[in-house]
Amino acid sequence: MKVADKTAKTVEEAIELGLAELGVSRDQVTVQVLEEPGKKGLLGLFGSKMARVRINFEDDPGALACEFLKGLTKAMSVNANFEVFNRDEQVKINITGLDLGILIGRRGDTLESIQFLTNLAVAKKLSNKTRIVIDVEGYRKRREETLIVLAKRLAEKVKKSGNRIVLEPMSPQERRIIHTALQNELKVTTFSEGEEPHRRVVLALKRNHIEKA
């Protein structure tokens, strides 16, 4: 958040000075009137008081994230464009361009790191917490669909064999996709075990079905 305290003969003049200093428009800020003008000074000896205001400006999280990402992709010699979508307390940024595989990495590892760093960079400049979700050419949607298919296929294997299946380590977001995909399964349950970053999803028969087997 950026703050400017300004003094002038009138409230409006003080506000204009603050807006000029911050380089923003009136609809982007909140204004606190700290001192009304026209009141006599101490013991009425020093003339009228000036107006004093405080201008508070909260940076746009999407703009901050794009600024960070532009510097990051430039350092990686990647030519990229950024699409910003605002949804309540979440901002989604989809990166588009050519040859962006380097931004995704093996099973999205690099993408998760970029998202983590972007959230850290933005959080340092904001008073309100906003979650930034980074995607590259719709990779997350494709990965979600792949994980859902995988979860259902493995659930069938668990039903047939009765043996539990332990998946490879995944990010919290990807583990959540697996859990959600199988939450209505009558015979199979899912849970996570291990410590980050090696935490894994486990698929197993529910206890009542183990007893019947």
Virtual CA dihedral for 72, 74, 80, 85, nearest 10 degrees? Answer: 30
DSSP category for residue 40? B
Give me the domains of the chain, ranges plus CATH numbers. Answer: 2-57 (no CATH), 61-137 (3.30.300.20), 141-212 (3.30.1370.50)
Task: Give the distance, in angstroms, between the CA of residue 116 and the centroid of all CA atoms in the same chain.
Answer: 9
| Percent of the chain clearing pLDDT 70 (strictly above) | 92
CA distance 158 to 170: 20
Which residues of the chain fall below pLDDT 70? Answer: 39-47, 209-213
User: 165 forms bridges with which residues in the sheet?
Assistant: 203
CA distance 91 to 102: 22
Q: pLDDT tens digits, residue range 33-90?
A: 998 887 555 555 555 778 899 998 888 899 899 999 999 999 999 999 999 998 777 9
Q: pLDDT tens digits, residue range 41-52?
A: 555 555 577 889
- Give residue 140's identity as a one-letter amino acid code: R
Task: Tell me: cis bond preceding 197? Omega within 30 of 0 counts.
Answer: yes
pLDDT for the residue numbered 35: 87
